[in-house]
Structure formats: structure tokens, C-alpha cells
């Protein structure tokens, strides 16, 4: 166990932008040696704050030494630079950690690293990482803060139908989505083992190296998402012109998407092969997908049915036809047929007329 002199006493936490919140005037409470680090067990200074209105209170979970060793946030245990799980970052960059996992060895390792960090030493260096791996990690990174992560947790009593607080309940009254309530251990997230979020991202990335071609050979269009307002049609053409002749480009800024139509199928296939998970326009990561075929309308009628005479509609009549038409006589005029309603028919719906009785 670390001695009292080696306990951490800090003035401000190491946090990511998402955990800190969007409020520039956030107020924090500070408690020296208020908690043990969930990784190395060393007492450290904890901070607690509310990221914004309608958000839950957050606090630091690990000490600053462990956070610096992994370049992670003290609260969410995610990478500070890319906002990704540590397992995803280390797997993509192919970097192995020498940090032990047992309690005694971890405490000894943390003490030694703390002394090195106090003298300005760097523990992990990514300077020799492959540039292709860096680009792959950049495409997976979250470029903007995700403040939904700070929302209150789902009320377990509401899920069971037993919450009696109503609007006063500080938790969310929503039904959980699939796999949303998966329990994540902080140690597993820190060391990159059995992290369900990281495993899901890695599986999706491994399956995404090749995109399945649509069976319809007439499809030569691609669907792009992540289009921002500073991306123009010229920028898209400059990126995709090398793959083949482009017929048209349609941008929908409101939906942040675009459609690009190639003249040939081979050009579209080459564009998907080269640009899938590797499309960056004006420093924006663009996702490339195959376009979908147009919905086919109902089949046309047979030739026999087309030959049958049909009554022309009012819009199809010419001026001469309209001039020959005679308007019907008004109600009550001589020769006008009376208008009968079903309620005026005594036998309507099988009713039997009432028999007349003598007075």
C-alpha cells in the first residue's frame, strides 16, 4: 500500500469534453483523499460536478497517475484524444501495454510510474505508429462531444412498472434498448478486456473491410452520409472523379447526405473498394454505402384492357366537349328526377313498412 506521502493531491481533474459538459461555468466539489482508485487502490482527490441541466452528477473514478498511463479520462475511462474505448485504440494502433494487472504488482508499478511522470517522462509513445493505423483510428473517432452520455440512468423501477415518484423521479422513465443495460466493469474497460462496447466496434470494423455488392447490376449510385455545409459538389467530384465518369451529384444538406451517380458499374465498384471506410473530405469523415434501387410501380395493364373504352375524366375533356354538355336541371324543376335517400325507402336494410291502422 502506498504511503501517505504518495497519495494524490490534485487541483483539477483530467476529463474529456463530454464528461466536463457544455456549461462554461461548471462548479465542482473537491474532496482530498476522498476515495481509492479503482485501478491501483491509491487514495486520490475526487471531484464531483453536474455537466448541465437535466444531467446526472458525475465524479472521478481513477487517479491521475492511472489516467496518464493510458491517456484516459478519469471518469468515462475513454481515450482523451479520440473518445474511443482503450481496447479499440490499442488494437488498431497495435500497441501492447506493459502494465501489470495483479494488485501488488500494480501498486508497485504505479508508484514507479508516478515518480517518472513527476519528472516529465512519457510512458507511452505513439510516434512510430503506422500512418495507416492512425488514419483508421481517426475515421473511427468521435469528432464532437456526445452529451447524451451524461443523461440520468434509466429508472429500474419504471421498467418493472413500480415507480411511484412520477415526474419527481431523477431517473429517466424510458424503456431500455437492446443491450443498453450491459454492466461494464471499470477494470475491464481500463485494461481492455471483456469490454462489450469495444468488442462491438471492432467486430463492425472487421466486417466492414469489404462491402457486399448489390445483385442488381443496374445500380451505379452511391449514398454518402456525414456531409457538412462546407462540402460542395466540386469537393465530392474531386474526390471521386478518379474512379470513373460521374453523371450527377445530389447533395441534401438538411439530411447531411448526398447521392453520387456513376456512368458505369465498374466505376461505382472501384469507388466503393477504395473509399469505403477511407473517405475524408475537408477533414470530415464520410461514410460510403451502395445506393438502393428505385421502387418499381405497379405493372401496366395488358393490351386487351388498354383497348377497352374508358370514360374520360373532366380534365381530359376538350373545350368543344365541354360546350356541348348540358347542365342538369335544378331540383324541383319539371323533368328533374327526385333525389331519394336510403332513409326515405321504407324497405331499406330489410325494414318492414308499418301497417296503416284505422281510426
Beta bridge partners of 260: 222, 249
Cα separation, 2 vs 40, in Å, equals: 10
Q: Which segments of the chain have a pLDDT < 70?
A: 1-5, 120-132, 178-183, 204-211, 294-359
Angle at 13 between CA 11 and CA 16, to 5 degrees: 150
Q: CA-CA distance, 56 to 49, in Å (whole number)?
A: 9
User: Cβ–Cβ contacts within 10 Å for residue 33, how many?
Assistant: 14
Q: State if pTM tops 0.85.
A: no
**What is the predicted pLDDT for the residue at 63?**
92
CB 172 within 8 A of CB 153: yes
Question: Domains in the chain, please, with CATH?
Answer: 17-147 (no CATH), 221-290 (3.30.70.330)
**Residues facing 280 on adjacent strands:** 285
What is the pLDDT, as a whole number, of residue 77?
93
329 contacts: CB under 8 Å, gap ≥ 6 = 335, 336
Q: What angle do CA 123, 129, 133 make, to 5 degrees?
A: 130
CA-closest candidate to residue 112, choices 190, 42, 9:
42
pLDDT at res. 140: 80
What is the DSSP track for 71-128?
TB-TTT-BBTTT--BHHHHHHHHT-------SHHHHHHHHHHHHHHHHTT--S---TT
End-to-end CA distance of the chain: 115
Q: Give residue 340's pLDDT.
A: 58
CA pair distance 84, 20, nearest whole angstrom: 16
Amino acid at each position: 500500500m502506498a504511503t501517505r506521502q504518495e497519495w494524490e493531491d490534485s487541483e483539477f481533474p483530467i476529463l474529456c469534453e463530454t464528461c466536463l459538459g457544455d456549461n462554461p461555468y461548471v462548479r465542482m466539489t473537491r474532496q482530498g483523499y476522498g476515495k481509492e482508485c479503482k485501478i491501483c487502490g491509491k487514495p486520490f482527490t475526487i471531484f464531483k460536478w453536474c455537466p448541465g441541466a437535466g444531467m446526472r452528477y458525475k465524479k472521478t473514478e481513477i487517479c491521475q497517475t492511472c489516467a496518464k498511463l493510458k491517456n484516459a479520462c478519469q471518469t468515462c475511462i475513454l481515450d482523451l484524444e479520440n473518445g474511443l474505448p482503450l481496447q479499440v485504440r490499442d488494437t488498431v494502433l497495435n500497441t501492447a501495454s506493459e502494465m501489470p494487472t495483479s494488485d501488488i504488482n500494480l501498486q508497485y508499478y504505479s508508484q514507479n510510474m508516478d515518480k517518472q511522470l513527476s519528472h516529465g517522462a512519457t510512458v507511452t509513445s505513439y510516434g512510430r505508429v503506422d500512418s495507416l493505423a492512425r488514419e483508421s483510428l481517426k475515421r473511427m473517432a468521435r469528432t464532437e462531444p456526445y452529451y447524451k452520455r451524461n443523461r440520468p440512468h434509466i429508472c429500474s423501477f419504471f421498467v418493472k412498472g413500480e415507480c411511484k415518484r412520477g415526474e419527481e423521479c431523477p431517473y429517466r422513465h424510458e424503456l431500455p434498448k437492446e443491450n443498453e443495460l450491459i454492466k461494464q466493469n471499470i477494470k475491464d474497460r481500463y485494461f481492455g478486456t471483456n469490454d462489450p462496447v469495444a468488442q462491438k466496434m471492432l467486430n463492425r470494423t472487421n466486417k466492414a473491410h469489404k462491402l457486399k455488392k448489390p445483385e442488381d447490376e443496374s445500380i451505379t449510385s452511391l449514398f454518402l452520409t456525414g456531409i457538412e455545409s462546407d462540402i460542395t459538389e466540386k469537393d465530392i467530384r474531386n474526390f471521386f472523379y478518379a474512379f470513373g465518369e460521374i453523371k450527377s451529384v445530389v447533395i441534401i444538406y438538411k439530411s447531411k447526405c448526398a447521392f453520387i451517380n456513376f456512368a458505369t458499374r465498374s466505376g461505382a465498384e472501384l469507388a466503393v473498394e477504395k473509399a469505403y471506410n477511407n473517405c475524408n473530405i475537408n477533414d470530415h469523415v464520410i461514410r460510403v454505402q451502395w445506393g438502393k434501387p428505385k421502387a418499381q410501380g405497379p405493372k401496366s395493364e395488358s393490351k386487351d384492357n388498354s383497348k377497352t373504352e374508358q370514360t374520360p375524366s373532366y380534365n381530359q375533356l376538350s373545350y368543344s366537349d365541354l360546350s356541348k354538355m348540358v347542365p342538369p336541371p335544378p331540383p324541383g324543376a319539371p323533368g328533374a328526377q327526385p333525389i331519394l335517400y336510403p332513409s326515405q325507402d321504407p324497405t331499406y336494410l330489410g325494414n318492414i313498412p308499418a301497417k296503416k291502422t284505422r281510426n
